[in-house]
Amino acid sequence: MQAEAGAPLTSQAGDDATDSITHRPVTRSLFWLVLGIAAVWVVVDQVTKNLAEEHLSDGSTIQVVGEIFQLHLTYNSGAAFSMGTGSTGLLTILASIVSVVIIWNARRLGSLAWAWGLGLLLGGAVGNLTDRLIRPPEFGKGHVVDFFQLPNFPIFNVADIGITSAAVLIGILALRGINPDGTRHTKNGEDKGAESREPGAPAYDTDEDKGAGSREPGAPAYDKDNDDDADGDRRG
């Protein structure tokens, strides 16, 4: 049945448009938060590495907290915490791919915690990737600057701290069942919370609302009491 002239249109497309207007700014702000966290982490990483090369290039060791925490400059051709030594070229390619994947997926974020996790991960990946691209011995095979030293532990840097922190945070979110889009998995595998509804889907508070939400656009509202009265009149 067609709507009367002047009646407001209540099509599903209209609902979708309204939802997109209210939802996209939140997702976009989280996307920029990821990039902002990553940018700050890369800057801190590169500044501290330059300071380490400036003050520790003579091979000296600075004791910050006795022998528990020291500063000692080394160069690492492998991955975080000196893993994968000798595979610099392959690690450069992998780090580039990981960075692109993180940025791509950050566009769909709906969780602040996930934004922090991906921001730290991206900052750490790009921080070490920068070393491989611009530092000796050659482009794409540069050695990563490490200078934080703990007892019986590989020497690391600020970028490694970001990667490790991100791994811990993302692991906690996964254990709690929190998805990157902000929805949460229950024990039976179903999503719960308002964010788990499809964009544009109406919020149902009662069974009566569910019936109203399932009507075709433009269909008249069903009133059980009025219909019962009408049936009584016909029988009379």
pLDDT tens, 140-175? 888 999 999 999 998 999 999 999 999 999 999 999
**Among 130, 107, 117, residue whose Cα is nearest residue 162:** 117
pLDDT band at residue 76 under the 50/70/90 scheme: confident
CA distances from 217 to 12, 201, 223, 224 (A): 7, 13, 17, 19
Q: Provide the pairing of β-strand 184-185 with 69-76.
A: unpaired
Half-sphere exposure of 12 (CA within 13 A, CB side): 9
In the predicted model, is pLDDT for residue 236 greater than 60?
no
Phi, psi of 76 (to 5 degrees): -120, 125
Query: How many residues comprise the chain?
Result: 236
Among the residue ranges 29-38, 144-153, 201-210, the one predicted with the least confidence is 201-210
Among the residue ranges 17-21, 53-57, 190-194, the one predicted with the least confidence is 17-21
Which comes out higher in pLDDT, residue 137 or 41? 41
| pLDDT tens digits along 78-125 | 665 556 566 667 888 999 999 999 999 999 899 999 999 999 999 999
CA distances from 116 to 36, 124, 153 (A): 10, 12, 26
Mean pLDDT of the chain: 77
Which comes out higher in pLDDT, residue 6 or 145? 145
What is the pLDDT at residue 225?
53
In the predicted model, is pLDDT for residue 64 greater than 60?
yes
In the predicted model, is pLDDT for residue 21 greater than 80?
no
- Residues serving a catalytic function are 146, 160
- Residue 143 in contact with residue 192, Cβ under 8 Å? no
pTM for this predicted structure: 0.67
Q: Which one-letter amino acid corresponds to residue 218?
A: G
Distance in Å from the first CA to the final CA of the chain:
29
- DSSP result, 139-157: TT-PPEEEEEE-TTS--B-
Q: Which residues contact 226 (CB under 8 A, 6 or more apart)?
A: none
